[in-house]
Amino acid sequence: MDVQQVLELWWTVPAGLAVLGYGCSLAGVTRAQRAVWATARIVEVRRPAHGDSRKPGIQVTVAFQDPATGQEFTLPNAGRHGDPVHEAWLGREFPVRYPRGRPERFHLMTDVFGERGGLVGPNCAVVLLLLGLVIQATVTWGYPWALLGFGGLLTAAMLLSRDLGLMRARAALLASAVAIPGQVVAVTKDVETDGEGTTFVCHEPVVAFTTREGTRVTAVCREGIPDPGRSLGRDLTIHYAPADPAVFTPDPDHDRRDRAKTVALVVASLLTGIAAVVAGVVTL
């Protein structure tokens, strides 16, 4: 089997998976569409112990009702049922789904984008398909098609990116931020190894603060706290959005710089993609 045949086999697999996934979605038989959907609320928050791993997030117990029967279930999340919770307070709500009759297998979601229609899988397959087509075009017709293909994919990815919208929404929420006292109550610790075999320790502080409305928030703070490994017990000033306490920062200037970097990266990537497409057209 030569290179051309390998490439054809490589991209036909994701093509088949995409067709199958979209067909199942149209028929309403994907796992997400067959599942029972409900709204869960946090009824218990368990603060991470100092030195725990950050991967399970904030361990919580959630309660939700079966929409058909009205039966209520109270079950622990413990970081093993869907997305980890990084900002928790009593009464906070999340969408959950579970197989019919199996509430103990619930899947908690902090973001339902593309989930309800079961489109996450086929959309990923389409991305793999397009990458396969670009690679095959590059091998078959040369580097101008690499510029056209990868430039086009990068441009499309940046145009469809949610990052700019998320940054604008965060900035709007923090524009009316309220400053209140907070404290680092734990520091998570994970030992990780990068692709070159270098081992390093990752620390993320866990902060606690009480909003002016009396809501006690426990949250993992990934940015804005200097020397996080030595921050246990440190007093902070937390700036949070009254409309959503999950949006907060201990350092507004750092948050603004971080948002600006994200916007600059998206814009630079978009311009790079457009430039690659133009270069590909010129060199054809």
Is residue 196 located within the same domain as residue 284?
no
**Two tokens at 14?**
């994701």
Per-residue pLDDT of the chain (284 residues; tens, 9 = 90+): 566 666 666 777 888 888 888 898 888 888 888 999 999 999 999 988 888 888 888 999 999 999 988 899 999 987 678 889 999 999 999 999 999 889 989 999 988 877 778 888 888 888 888 888 888 888 788 888 889 999 999 999 999 888 999 999 999 999 999 999 999 999 999 888 776 767 878 999 999 999 999 999 999 998 899 999 999 999 999 999 999 999 999 999 999 999 999 999 999 999 999 999 999 988 87
Is residue 181 located within the same domain as residue 276?
no
**Two tokens at 254?**
């750092």
The answer to whether the CB of 237 falls within 8 A of the CB of 250 is: yes
Whether 182 is covered by a domain: the verdict is: yes
Residue 2 has a CB neighbour count (10 Å cut-off) of 6
Is residue 168 located within the same domain as residue 250?
yes
Is residue 185 located within the same domain as residue 269?
no
Residue-number span of the structural domain to which 253 is assigned: 147-176+243-284
The packing angle between helices 3-27 and 120-141, to 10°, is 160
Q: How many domains is the chain built from?
A: 2
Is residue 190 located within the same domain as residue 234?
yes
The answer to whether the CB of 31 falls within 8 A of the CB of 25 is: no
Is residue 277 located within the same domain as residue 201?
no
**Two tokens at 241?**
């959005």
Is residue 279 located within the same domain as residue 185?
no
Whether 114 is covered by a domain: the verdict is: no
Whether 235 is covered by a domain: the verdict is: yes
Whether 214 is covered by a domain: the verdict is: yes
CA distance 56 to 79: 4
The model's pTM is: 0.86
Whether 204 is covered by a domain: the verdict is: yes
Is residue 171 located within the same domain as residue 248?
yes
Is residue 264 located within the same domain as residue 210?
no
Whether 91 is covered by a domain: the verdict is: no
Taking alpha carbons only, the member of 85, 86, 83, 79 closest to residue 97 is: 83
Residue 59 has a CB neighbour count (10 Å cut-off) of 19
Is residue 194 located within the same domain as residue 222?
yes
- Supply the pLDDT for residue 12: 78
CA distance 10 to 107: 32
Whether 42 is covered by a domain: the verdict is: no
